[in-house]
Amino acid sequence: MRLLYTEKQNQFRAEVREWLAANLPGQPLASFDTPEGFEQHRAWERKLSEKGFSAVTWPKDLGGRGCDLIEWLIFEEEYWAAGSPLRVNQNGVFLLAPTLMEYGTPEQKARFLPRMATAEDIWAQGWSEPGAGSDMAAIRSRAQRDNGHYVVNGQKVWSTRAVWADWIFGLFRTDPNSQRHHGLTFLLMPLKTPGITIRPIKQLNGLPGFAEIFFDDVKVPVENRIGEEGQGWSIAMATAGFERGLMLRSPARFQQTARQLVELYRRHREEADADPGIRDAVIKSWMDAEAYALATYRTACRLAKGGHIGAEASTNKIFWSELDLLMHETAMRILGARGELMPDAADGGDIGAWLDGFLFSLAGPIYAGTNEIQRNIIAERMLGLPRA
Amino acid sequence: MDFTFDEQQLAFRDAIRKFLMVEAAPEWLREIWETTETGRSAELRAKLADQGLTALSVPEEFGGINVGDLDWTLVQQELGYFAIPDSLTATAYLGVYLLNHLPADVALKREWLPRIAAGQARVAVGHPINPMVADAKNADLLLLWHEGEVHALSPAQATLRMNPSIDLSRRLYKIEWTPSEATRVCKATIGQKLWAGTIDRAGLAISAQLIGLAQRMLDLGVDHAAQRKQFGKPIGSFQAVKHHMADVAVKVEFAEPVVHRAAYALAQDDPRAPVYVSQARLAAGEAALLAARKSIQVHGAMGYTWEADLQMFMKRAWALNATWGDSKFHKARLAAAVLADDARVGPGATFA
């Protein structure tokens, strides 16, 4: 055990810090769930990609920086500590890319990954359907093979970033007689393909952060298929594993929220202490954000030594989503009656982005597999309890 | 950056685990504390010594193997998992730490360290952070706090009054004694630092034991839920039961690395080690208390009986969680560190 950074790692940290200080946008970007904000975030991703920073763990020839997981953690620490923008292409970079790296052909990698790194293509995901949420194996959208194409019909829903994104990845039923997780295939397609209709869905904050997508005889070339026909479920489960697992939610983001919470508490210490539970929740927030960081470093080091992530990835998702809720609920308690004020309220004082963050923290236990589903996975696959 | 134990450390841990699994069956442990006045077994102590556990911290010149806090932490997790009723920690970890750090010319070291390493002496350690001294009567040597000084005496030089604990394996004594020049082995200027180090090592040992205890209670709950049938199927197939156990697994998963970081910090003499130990105490305590609460629920009425082994681990967890600094003590230390206006928190501060 050696919990020290190497000289090279320290240099990398310094490089990231200096670059961010010199290149961060002077003004906060508009929300990426608005048309202008979406394009501002795309431009920021492109800027990041000039240094290989939009996808630091990818090989350099695909647009990344060739970093290992410890360097990724360092990058994330500097990124969030500097107050950098949210990542508009995280569906692509953190969810699809690991799948492409593992299951994509060399041609597919060369075709999709560099354009993803530069945000020329921003990706939306197409998992859920009206009848297939937690029960994802109930997917009904069909893709029927017709020579060199699939013809796609059906409907996807809760598709994050889909309103302005360029491409979508998802699962479609290629074998009409198949049941459950059999007969599903992993397909990629441009959202501008004829036959695709996108209907934005307003989220709690009033912005269209996700969408419904309707497919009406949409032609998708066979070369846009990842893996073999009918293999889609196991490939998607691998993607879901990445999402729950290491990379989608780096600890640094929660540590930054914990820091902001501690600072908020320090500024309002006297009034906050009138509610004794607040102080305890602030300490707990710091503790759990640190615990999440320590656990992630440990996992990264185990992976570097040849280990792998199993069902314990499901513990991550529960832990960070509940931590995020705790931190935002606590901030709202400190803000008290100012908590309901929108960010542009003239007399909000130091309300910051807590309200928006609070709303978003409510989504954490729901998306990427609800926490109830995660608890089932932990109980069955990690603890070995019998299925229902 | 390497947040893993090396092969040798893990192999030693595995060997101890296998040994305890075979040699420390719950029935025998119960027999030890139900049928003896001391609650301790010379046979068990001899077996632990055979495995080298009494010699872990003792320097080689005194017959020990001189490994550090990290190795101890892995051992402590196993001691917790198997609820070992022995004064091993007070003797071979805390006692040896104090003796090792006494000024060099103290004859006490030469007298006691070889005997401890060989498994032939028991040490009890008393500090006012605890109202009682565990295993004081059965000890060969008492190391006691007095105004920051370290005093050494034999149990015969003190008046001991046994106070029963809900954990029948524990033997707690209220102790009355008279400090004197003859009993003092270290003055307060040095002693203060030694006692601080003792509190942190006790805290680390307890954190690690609590992780082991939490894991054991989780395993017992899972075993019971997989075997016990109601409505024609194992109760572990019901989501309400599954989720109790999953919640414990999450807590253990995220408490263990906190404990391991505290161990590393102590081993490195990192000035932040006391804060990290308190963090470990709180995280491990939370995991162990939740494991107790959820496991008794999953056990149903069986969990409320004397017969079910769960009680051994549950009671140990409750007791240990409040010794060598209770939650009030550790949370206060953490609050002082985290909420101070100049405290460095946030991304990048974890190892910096």
Whether residues A319 and A217 fall in one domain = no
Residue of A nearest to B6 (CA): A1
Whether residues A284 and A339 fall in one domain = yes
In this predicted structure, what is the pLDDT of residue B178?
A: 98
> Do the Cβ atoms of B254 and A1 come within 8 Å?
no
> Do the Cβ atoms of B245 and A383 come within 8 Å?
yes
Residue of B nearest to A8 (CA): B1
Whether residues A227 and A260 fall in one domain = no
Residue of B nearest to A75 (CA): B348
Considering only the beta carbons, identify the residue of A13, A81, A388 that sits closest to B346.
Answer: A81
Whether residues A328 and A270 fall in one domain = yes
Considering only the beta carbons, identify the residue of A77, A265, A292 that sits closest to B348.
Answer: A77
Cβ-contact B261, B276 below 8 angstroms = yes
Domain finish residue from A236, A261, A294: A236
Model-level pTM?
0.97
- Rounded to two decimals, the ipTM of the complex is 0.97
> Do the Cβ atoms of A1 and B247 come within 8 Å?
no
In this predicted structure, what is the pLDDT of residue A242?
A: 57
Considering only the beta carbons, identify the residue of A74, A256, A375 that sits closest to B246.
Answer: A375
Check CB contact of A306 with chain B, cutoff 8 Å: no
> Do the Cβ atoms of B347 and A81 come within 8 Å?
yes
For B154, counting Cβ atoms within 10 Å of its Cβ (0-12 exposed, 13-18 middle, 19+ buried), the class is: exposed
Question: What three-state secondary structure class fits A124?
Answer: strand
Domain presence at residue A272: yes
Domain membership of residue A286 as a residue range: 249-382
Domain finish residue from A211, A236, A261: A236
Alpha-carbon distance B162 to nearest alpha carbon in chain A (angstroms): 36
Alpha-carbon distance B241 to nearest alpha carbon in chain A (angstroms): 9
Whether residues A371 and A280 fall in one domain = yes
pLDDT per residue as tens, chain B (352 positions): 999 999 999 999 999 999 999 999 999 999 999 999 999 999 999 999 999 999 999 999 999 999 999 999 999 999 999 999 999 999 999 999 999 999 877 789 999 999 999 999 999 999 999 999 999 999 999 999 999 999 999 999 999 999 999 999 999 999 999 999 999 999 999 999 999 999 999 999 999 999 999 999 999 999 999 999 999 999 999 999 999 999 999 999 999 999 999 999 999 999 999 999 999 999 999 999 999 999 999 999 999 999 999 999 999 999 999 999 999 999 999 999 999 999 999 999 999 8
Two structure tokens written together for A347: 């007399």
Whether residues A217 and A265 fall in one domain = no
Whether residues A225 and A260 fall in one domain = no
CA–CA distance, A229 with A197 (Å, rounded to integer): 25
Pairing of strands B149-153, B184-186: antiparallel
CA–CA distance, B206 with B24 (Å, rounded to integer): 19
Name the residue with tokens 């928190």. B345
Residue among A234, A228, A265 nearest A350 (CA): A265
DSSP-H helix ranges across chain A = 7-23, 35-49, 69-81, 90, 97-103, 106-117, 232-244, 251-267, 269-272, 276-304, 313-335, 354-363, 371-377
Residue among B197, B194, B200 nearest B108 (CA): B194
Domain presence at residue A173: yes
Domain of residue A303, CATH code: 1.20.140.10
**Best mutation site among B215, B254, B334 for testing chain A: the one with the most A CBs within 10 Å?**
B254
Domain presence at residue A212: yes
Integer Rg of chain A from CA: 21
Whether residues A230 and A253 fall in one domain = no
Check CB contact of A309 with chain B, cutoff 8 Å: no
In this predicted structure, what is the pLDDT of residue B38?
A: 94
> Do the Cβ atoms of A383 and B254 come within 8 Å?
no
- Total domains in chain A come to 3
> Do the Cβ atoms of A1 and B6 come within 8 Å?
yes
* Residue B305 vs residues A264, A306, A351, B296: alpha-carbon distances, Å: 48, 44, 52, 10
Domain presence at residue A107: no
> Do the Cβ atoms of A294 and B3 come within 8 Å?
yes
Domain presence at residue A191: yes
Domain of residue A146, CATH code: 2.40.110.10
Whether residues A308 and A284 fall in one domain = yes
Whether residues A273 and A222 fall in one domain = no
Domain presence at residue A172: yes
Whether residues A15 and A52 fall in one domain = yes
Q: Give chain B positions within 8 Å (CB) of A265.
A: 339
In this predicted structure, what is the pLDDT of residue A239?
A: 63
Residue of B nearest to A71 (CA): B1
Domain presence at residue A2: no
Domain presence at residue A188: yes
In this predicted structure, what is the pLDDT of residue B335?
A: 96
Whether residues A162 and A275 fall in one domain = no
Which domains, from first to last, does chain B contain?
A: 190-339 (1.20.140.10)
Name the residue with tokens 């609460």. B293
Q: Give chain A positions within 8 Å (CB) of B345.
A: 255, 258-259, 262, 286
Local mean pLDDT, 10-residue blocks, chain A (388 residues): 97 98 96 97 98 96 96 97 96 91 95 98 96 94 97 97 97 96 97 98 95 98 97 84 69 97 97 97 98 96 86 89 98 98 94 96 94 96 94
> B60-65: which pairs have CB atoms within 8 A and are 24 or more residues apart?
B62/B109, B62/B110, B62/B113, B62/B114, B62/B117, B63/B113, B63/B114, B63/B117, B63/B118, B64/B96, B64/B113, B64/B117
